[in-house]
Chains A and B, each alone.
Chain A
Amino acid sequence: GEDVEQSLFLSVREGDSSVINCTYTDSSSTYLYWYKQEPGAGLQLLTYIFSNMDMKQDQRLTVLLNKKDKHLSLRIADTQTGDSAIYFCAESKSSYKLIFGSGTRLLVRP
């Protein structure tokens, strides 16, 4: 079946790197995503990676994908207080149906 798991909470100091981890079960997933949810706001797509890639970098964000272990991670360099939010990992096999994890709440301490 389809299942996406994340740790619930991560606390880091401002300026440090944050690494948010995610595991998924569906090896046929085509796309993997990271979404950010800030209080009172809708989810915002941060980045995504195709399943035939193992790394993608976008400014302060680095996504690593280990297909063998079905493990996805999001690294945020030089974490800022504005990065405090809930981060959702999601997978999909189709172009539209997303399967989300339960979210990791990132708290950035000044």
Chain B
Amino acid sequence: GAGVSQSPSNKVTEKGKDVELRCDPISGHTALYWYRQSLGQGLEFLIYFQGNSAPDKSGLPSDRFSAERTGGSVSTLTIQRTQQEDSAVYLCASSQWTSGRINEQFFGPGTRLTVL
């Protein structure tokens, strides 16, 4: 079946502009995650959605970052007034969900964001 897809694959923007990054999770996966991978760094957790529960936004680096998940499926990560330090690869993952057990996260190919 189809995996996690993300669009666009590459985005170049100017400092101060807003950007929207999209994630289509695997069908039937109720959990969705966003991570950021900066050059030479590990993945940094940003936000997590599970069903109708309130999202865990503890990883969002500033109030310029927001994310929503509509209809329990597609998610959009929005970065307002982009800064050069926002340049990174933004990765989305989805999983099934069972509390207290490992829930394998399936990752998309990422969106490479470059802020000039």
Within 8 Å by CB of A96, from B3, B40, B103, lies B103
A43 cross-chain contacts in B, Cβ below 8 A: 43, 91, 93, 107
Question: B105 is contacted by which of A45, A102, A103 (Cβ under 8 Å)?
Answer: A45
* Interface bracket on A: 20 to 34
Contact residues in B for A103 (Cβ distance below 8 Å): 42
Contact of A31 among B35, B102, B109 (CB under 8 A): B102
Which of the residues A44, A45, A102 comes within 8 Å of B41, measured between beta carbons?
A102
A7 → chain B closest CB, angstroms: 13
Q: Write out the residue numbers on chain B whose beta carbons fall within 8 Å of the beta carbon of A90.
A: 43
A4, B43: Cα distance in complex, Å? 11
Closest to A101 in B: B42
Q: Which residues of A contact B (CB under 8 A)?
A: 4, 8, 31, 40-45, 48, 88, 90, 95-103
Instruction: Determine the distance from Cα of A96 to Cα of B99 in the docked complex, in whole angstroms.
Output: 9
Candidates B42, B43, B99, B109; contact of A95 at CB < 8 Å: B99
Interface of chain B, main secondary structure: loop
Assembly CA distance A17 to B95 (angstroms)? 32
Tell me if B1 is interfacial: C-beta within 8 Å of chain A: no
**Are A98 and B43 also in contact (CB < 8 A) when A40-B109, A42-B3 are?**
yes
Instruction: Report B84-116 CB contacts with A as 1/0, cut-off 8 Å.
Output: 000000010101011111111111111000000
Whether the pair B41, A95 counts as a contact (CB closer than 8 A) is no
Residue tally, chain B, CB below 8 Å to A = 31
The CA-CA distance from A23 to B22 in the complex, in Å, is: 33
Among A31, A40, A42, A97, contact of B45 (Cβ-Cβ < 8 Å): A97
B50 at the interface (CB under 8 A from A): yes
* Chain A residue nearest in CB terms to B5: A42
B48 at the interface (CB under 8 A from A): yes
> B44 — nearest CB in chain A belongs to which residue?
A100
Task: Rank and list the top 10 A-B pairs by shortest CB-CB distance, nearest first.
Answer: A42-B107, A100-B42, A100-B43, A43-B107, A102-B42, A101-B42, A42-B109, A45-B104, A42-B108, A102-B41
- CA of A35 to CA of B31, assembled, Å: 19
